[in-house]
Structures are given as structure tokens and as C-alpha cells.
Structure 1
């Protein structure tokens, strides 16, 4: 890890060792609570514009459509910490919101992120940034520390209506709930987790919404293995590999060029994520 990353917000040797041991770090600084509140307002305004709920299409890599999310995925406090884990040349491969309203019953079953992504190596980190309090009661992220050291495990698709995952996927091995811990976060904090970490979350039983933004980072040497040409945004360093077509930063929110690029990205990523699936999103 470069020395200058340590001088900014890079992780310490002890924190890196903890991540390597557990596959997760939390809570970590990301943005200020005030900035999280501002982004929450923008998110809820976007929901209102779309009829009260964010569409699956808009929630696919929304950093390609919205300048404030393009800024967030390139935030130096986040990138300094991710660089400590993945090195200096970083791509943002994906992003999406995870939003639960009180008593809406939505949950995330136990799974590994790597299951349907088609990426060549598990050197991938998710930064999960909280816009609202993410607590046990509101259905925070639950993780099984150390489970990232296992290989890719079999999953089954459920397509359950109350499951927030793309295919309602669920790991096909028994998870001992006693091994799980709760990644509690306050607005502006984030967790960092490994792509093979077993994790999930329970429904929101609080009196407030639980909203977080997941950003998927990978080093430039990782490639897409599906045979479909993939895209990613270079957010730090250089890309000497060219495994992904470069994604542009939007010039303005919903700029026509950004909308056109995003539409193709959505179609291509859908082909990757739903390869062999019994269903696809409408």
C-alpha cells in the first residue's frame, strides 16, 4: 500500500489484518452525517419523481445517471480505504440502493455477492454507505465473519417477492445464526465487505427507513468471464488492462448521453446476472 494512502484515510496494518481475517470492517468513516442527510433528501426526491419507489432500471448503477452519486463512488475517504485492500488502480463496477421501509417485510437472504457476477477473481470489496441509521431493529447488514475464506458456495434462486436480491438467491448450506454479527452503522458510516462473505439482513422493524448505498469496487486486473463485454468506471489510478469499457461520469443528472449509456449497461448487465435464470426483470 502506498505511504501517501496511509497519510490520508488508508487503513492501518491491524485493520487490514482484521479484514483479511474476518472479511468485513465496520463501522468505517465515509461521509459526514450532514452529507448523508443531504443525499437522503435527494434519494427520496428521486423516488417521488418515479412514483414513490425507485425502479429496478434506475437502481442499476445510478452513479452513471446522477452527479452526486458519481461524486460519492469517487469520494477520497472511501477510496483511500478500499485502496488499502485492493491496491491503487480501482474500478467501480456497480452500485445500487438497498431501501427498507418500516414493516414492509423486505429482507436479504444469506448469500455471497460473487455468485452471479461473472468476475474472474474474488478481489472485490463492497462499500455499504448508510444514509439512515442501520441498526438491528431496522434490519442492518448481518455477516458471518471469516466465511469469505470458503470457496464459492452453491445458491438457489427463489425469486421471492420479499427478497431484495436480483434472483432472490439463497445459499444452499446451513448458516448457524450464532456465528453471525450485526454491522450497525450510523448515517455517513460504511462497512467494507469481501465479495465471498456470507451475509444477509432481516426486515425493518424500526419506525424509520433503512437506506444504504452499496458500491462495488475491484482492481483493474479483474475481468468479466461471461463473454459479454462489461463496463466499469475508473475511479483511481490507471487501467493498463482494458478488461472493461470505460464508463463516463455524467455531465449532469440524467444527461441524455448518460441515459443512453446507462440503458445499454442495464441491458448488458441483466444478461450477465440472469444467465441461466428461470426469470428476468421486466
Structure 2
């Protein structure tokens, strides 16, 4: 995946980070007020540490048991078939698994280092809308291999009848696109477009179980694009798109030159 390799606001050099501290990008406040202000301006936070080494190991082992029980094929084949509900599903490049009712996943969603930034951004009264794994399994093409496995997507919303798009994720453009045709990728898209929600504020927490770097398809975002409203989407003409309905924003509508890479080492997360 090509793109400018600027460090996004909030990116933390994870090589030097511990649970008690670490280097932060210039201008990124350690306070929750600073996180909230940065999110409102940029539309995302990246590289905040969440899990300790033992917590990450436990999460990987739990996911490994799930994967062993159902297999990669079943996970790739679709959510309902993977959890054994008997709903017909066909193989595709989408590999999502609904896991909100799984105890260890719920514990991750309620982890204090997940909820503290969520509540700083959305307020104290939040609800969990959805949790799932999106797995980019290793794929081979012309001698190239890539892989990300066991990345947890958790989506929260403020429990309120009032809608305030200024505070929320009203459609920032994001991608995890690969540079090799046919390999798994996530096209440029805006989450709110296909969530069936009337508005925000909403955010997603992307927690890495494996390193997510440029070479294996790290997330890219367009800072500030959450302030521009929803852009038109279409069916992607490219094979390998992992989004639920093969949606994409045409690249001519995306300010790709403004994109920033959000590399993550395992245990850290992105709020977007």
C-alpha cells in the first residue's frame, strides 16, 4: 500500500512505549481532554496502547481456539455460518465474525484502556453496537505474502436521542488497500455509509492482535475528512475487497495526497 508516511496525530512510537508511558507525537496531550480535542480535529487517534504482553497472549490464544474450531475457511465464508447458526453463506474475501456475545471479547471491549478514550470522546453513556474480527490471512501472489490475523473491530455509540455529528465519526475516508491486484484489501470507504444509522456520534476501535505495518496493509486515513459529510460509494471493480458489500469511494473523490499511514504494533489500537 502506497501513501505518504507521515505520523498521524496521536501516533505513539510503540517500540519505546510501556503501559506506564512512552513517547508521543509532538502536540499530543496525554490528557483525555487532549485526546478529545485531537479526535475532533483529525477524526481519529492512532497507536494508543491497550494490552499488556500477557493480555495480548491470552487474546491470541482465545482467537486461536476459535480459529481451530471453525477453520480459516469458515471464518472467510461469513459470520453466520462460522458461528454455526445454519444460515447459508458462500465463500468470499470478507472474513468477519460477530463476537459481541463472547466473554473474552466483551472483556476486551470493556477494557479500561479502551473505554477511557471512548468515553472522553463520546461521553460517559455509551453502548456497544458491534464487535467482530476482520482477518487478512496470508495470501501468495507472484512471490509476495501478506497477513494480518485477529484484528478486533469494536463499534461504540453514544446512548442519546440527540445526534451531534460534530463530535462523531460522520464518515472519514479510510483504507487498508494493498498494492498487489487480487490480494485482500480494504477499499477507501466511510463506515457510516453502510451502518444503517441516522447519524453520530459513533466511533470504531481497531485493536491489533498482530503488527499492522505498511508492508502488510496498514490502515490509512484522511485527516479531517469526517467534517466533509458522506461521499458517494460504488461497487468496487477490483477483486479482493474485504468490505461487506464490496463498496468503495472512487479514488478521484479521495484526497489521497493527504492520507496518513496508521501503523500499529500488536496491543495498540486506532480510534476512528
TM-score normalised by the chain length of structure 2: 0.63
Partner of 1:181: 260
- Structure 2: gaps (5+ residues): 1-29, 84-95, 141-182
Measured in 2, the distance between the counterparts of 1:114 and 1:127 equals: 14
**1:40 Cα deviation after fit:** 1.6
1:111·1:170 contact (CA, 8 Å) conserved in 2? yes
Count of aligned pairs between the two proteins = 183
Partner of 1:219: none
- Structure 2 CA distance for partners of 1:86 and 1:51, relative to 1, 3 Å: same
Choose from 74, 77, 85 the match for 2:110: 74
Partner of 2:17: none
Q: Which has the higher contact order (CA 8 A, sep 6+)?
A: 1
**1:98 Cα deviation after fit:** 1.8
Moved beyond 4 Å, runs of 4+? none
**1:95 Cα deviation after fit:** 1.4
Choose from 49, 52, 55 the match for 2:69: 49
CA RMSD of aligned residues (A): 1.9
Choose from 184, 191, 196 the match for 1:113: 191
1:165 counterpart SS class: coil
1:33·1:187 contact (CA, 8 Å) conserved in 2? no
Give runs of aligned pairs for residues 85-234 of structure 1, distance below 5 A: 85-103=121-139, 105-158=183-236, 161-172=239-250, 173-193=252-272
1:156·1:169 contact (CA, 8 Å) conserved in 2? yes
Partner of 1:33: 53
Measured in 2, the distance between the counterparts of 1:11 and 1:63 equals: 29
1:26·1:192 contact (CA, 8 Å) conserved in 2? yes
Choose from 36, 42, 66 the match for 1:22: 42
Measured in 2, the distance between the counterparts of 1:140 and 1:34 equals: 24
Measured in 1, the distance between the counterparts of 2:213 and 2:233 equals: 27
1:37·1:187 contact (CA, 8 Å) conserved in 2? no
Partner of 2:100: 63
